[in-house]
Structure 1
Amino acid sequence: MSHTESVGRTDFDRLMIPCYAPDGFIPVRGEGSRVWDQHGRELIDFAGGIAVNALGHAHPSLVRALVEQAGKLWHVSNLYTNEPALRLASKLVAATFAERVFFANSGAEANEAAFKLARRHGLETAGAHKHEIVAALDSFHGRTLFTVSVAGQPKYSAGFGPPIGGIRHVRFNDIGALEAAVSANTCAIVLEPVLGESGVLPAERAYLERARELCDEHGALLVFDEVQTGMGRVGELFAYQRYGVTPDVLTSAKALGGGFPIAAMLTRADLAGHLGVGSHGSTYGGNPLACAVAEAVLDIIATPAVLAGVRERHERFSTELRRIGAQTGLFEQVRGLGLLLGGVLGEAWKGRARDVMRTCEEEGLMVLQAGPDVIRLAPSLVIDAADIDEGMRRLERAARRLRDEAGRACDPDTVLITGVA
C-alpha cells in the first residue's frame, strides 16, 4: 500500500490489535482548535488529544522548531547527549523545584522511572523493608505492569498475572486513610493533584499538605504525577505550584511536547544520585527532535500571558457548562482546575458518557470522558473565544438532542450546579 492509497476506519479493525475502539471518523488535518476529517467535515476540538495538544494543532512555533531540528540531527542514542536535551533540561530546572531531569517518551515511562527511583532510594537509605508505595484508588499512572499496579484500578491490572506487590491503595482526599497507610515501610506516596481519568476530581490542599508532612516524617518521597495537570493545564506551569506543596519527584508528559512524544521525570540532585549509570535508561529518551519541540512548547506556555489566559478561559468554560447544565439537565456539577474540566452527568445520563461523546461528535465537537459519568474537557490552552463559543453552541445542541431523545424536559430549578475554582 503506497502512502497515497486510500485507507478508512474499517482498515483499523482489519489491521490493528483491538486494544482501542476509535471513533468512526479519521482526522486528517488540524489547525488551532479545529480538525477536519477525511470527508472535509470540520470539528471543534475540546479534547486536545487527551490534554496533549496544549497549543492546538500545527502551532507555527512548534512546526518551525521541528523542521529546523529535522534538518540537523534526529537521533544519537543515550551514548551521547545533545544540545536540545540540555537546553530543555536547563529550562525545566530553572522553572521548577528540580535540579535533575530524566527524559523518556511517555507518561508511563516517566512514572516507571519515578517509582523505580523511589524504591531504590528506600532500599539504599533504609533497607529492603522500605519498598511500599501508597497510592490513590481510581488513579491512573500508565499502562506498564508497574504503573497499572500502582494505579488503584483493577480493570487495568487484571488479566496479566500477579500485580507488582508492596502497593497500598487509599481513598483520594481521605487524610485519615492516608495516615493509616503510611509507615516506616513506605518509600513513596504517589498522587495526581487532580484525579484525571476517574472524574476530574481536584485534590484538597490539606490532603496534599498532609501527604508532604507524612513523607517528611517517614523518610518517604512525595511523587506527583503531573502528566495531565502539568505544563500550564491548571493555570500555573505545574499544579504543585498552584497548591503550594512541593514534591520530591514530579513526572510530566502529554502537553510537554505539544503533540510530539516526550516525557520527563524531575527531581532533586540528592535523589537523582540513586539512579547511577546503567540503573535505568531509554533508547529514545532525550531525542533531539522531541526536545527541540518541547523547548518551543515550554517557551510559550511558561509566560504570564498564557498562564493568565488559562485562568480566564476556565471561567468562560465553567460558566457555559453550568448554563447548559441548568437549561438541559445534562450536567449536575462542573469541577476541575484551569482547562482540565469535568461535567458530571445528571441523573438521566449516569453511565452514558460514551453516548454523550458520540452525540457531541455528531454535532461537530470532540470531547472526552472521565469514567462513565463525567465528560472531560482538555482543550488547547490558547483556544480563542470564537472557538470556545462555537464549541459550546455545538455542545448545547448535543445536550438538547439528548434531552429530547430521552423524552423528558428538565426543570432547571431542580438541578444543583456547583464548581471548583
Structure 2
Amino acid sequence: MHDVAWWWYFGGSFLDALIGPNLFFPGEPFLLAAGYLLSSGAIYGLLAVLAGGFIGDQISFFIGRRCGSQGRRWLIRKFSKTKRPIAKTRLILRKKGPWIVTASRLLGPVAWIMPFIAGSYAMRWSTFTLYSSIGLILGVGQFTLAGFFIGKGIEILPSWETVGLFFKEHSVLLTACLVSSLASFILYRLYRWRKWLLMTFCWLTAMSSANYYHFFHSEAYSIEWISQAQARNSHTILEENVSLAKLDYTVYPGLSPVYKSQPINIILQGGHPSILMEELGWVENKTFSRNKLDLSQYLELIADKQPPISDLYWNQQPQLLAYQIKGDLINRRHIRWWFAGKSQQTNEDIWLASISYDDSLKLAHYKGLITVLHGIDPDIDNERDTLMKNAEALGWKTKLRRLGEPVAFSKSSHYFSDGNIAIIQSI
C-alpha cells in the first residue's frame, strides 16, 4: 500500500466527485484504501482523497453555474438515471437550503449531482464551498474510518460476544428505559399541565424498581453468570506462575468494556489478606457477588455501619474478599482483594487489591445500571501510603514499585495517582 503514489488516491476521489465520471466511477475503494494507509501512520492518502474530492466538487459546481438549465436537460437526456436524483435534489435544495449540500455526501445518488445542481441554481460560491467542505469531511471520513479499522484488524471492533454481553448486562436498565419511554409517550398524549410531573414520576419509579430488582432479585451477581462471561475472555485464565510486570493493574465496575477503570494499588506477596486485615483492624464486608442479600439484610448492614461493598472486576473476576474500616454508607475506607496466581520468582501467592476512601454519594454507571453509589476521594495514593505505613508498623515489609501508569484527574479518570503500587510482604 505504501508503494502507491498520492495521485492514485487523488485521482480516485477526484473522479468520484466530478460530474459525469462519478455516475460510473466508484470512489469508495480509494477512500477505504486511504483509511487503511492511515492505520499504518501515513497521512498522504487521506490528504489526497480530501483534495481530490474538494477539487472535483468545485469543478462540478462551476460546470453547473456555466451550463445552468441547459446543462440539466443535457444531463438527463444523456444519462436517464439522473432524472430522479436531479428532481429530488432540486426539491430538497429549495426546502433545506445549504445544509442539504452538507448532508448530500451521505445521501447516495444525491451526492453525484449536488454540486452541479447547486451551481446551476446560482447558489453563492462561498456558501457552497463552506457547506460542501463540511460534507466532504463527513463523507470521506466515514469510509476512511472504516478503512482505518480494517487496517488495525477486525479486533478493534466489538465482537458479537462483547455486544451480547453488553445487552445482557444492561438488560434491566434497557427494559426500564423502554417501559418509561412508552409510558411517557402515552402520558404526553393524554395529559396537559400534569404531563411533565407524571412523566418524571414514571421515570423515577422505573429506575427505582430496576435498582431494587437488580440488587435483590436478578441473576446479575450469580457466580454461574459471571463464569459464562469469563469463559469468553481468555485473559481470565490464571497462570500458575505470574510476573508482576505483566499483570493488569486496572479494575472495572462491570463486565462489558464500557466502564471507567479504577486502580489496583496494593500487592500482597506471600501470606493471606485475612491475616493482614485482621492485624490492621479491618472488618470483612458482605458483597453482592458472594452474598445473596435481601432488602431487610441490606438495611440492617447499613444500620450496623457495615454496608455491603459493590463489586469490581479484575480480568472479569469479582473480588474474592472485601474489607473496610467501620463507617457509614458515605464515609468509609474499603479494600477489595483478587488472587492473581503464584510469583515466578518466589512461588509465593500473589494477591492484588484496590484501596480507596468513600467520601460522597453520586450517580454512577455500575454493573449495567444507573444507580447511586459511593464516590471515592481522588487522592487514592494517600490511602495506599497510609496502609503501607500501618502495615510497616506491625512488622510487614513494604516498598513502592512503578507497575501502573500515572493518572491525572480528568473527565475520564475520577482519581489521580503516581502509578506506584505498594508491595507488602510478611517477614
Work out whether the TM-score is over 0.5.
no
Q: Quick check: which one's helix share is greater? A: 2
* Short-chain TM bin: under 0.3
Question: Which structure is richer in relative contact order (CA contacts within 8 A, separation 6 or more)?
Answer: 1
TM-score (normalised: structure 2): 0.22
TM-score (normalised: structure 1): 0.23
Q: Bigger radius of gyration, 1 or 2?
A: 2
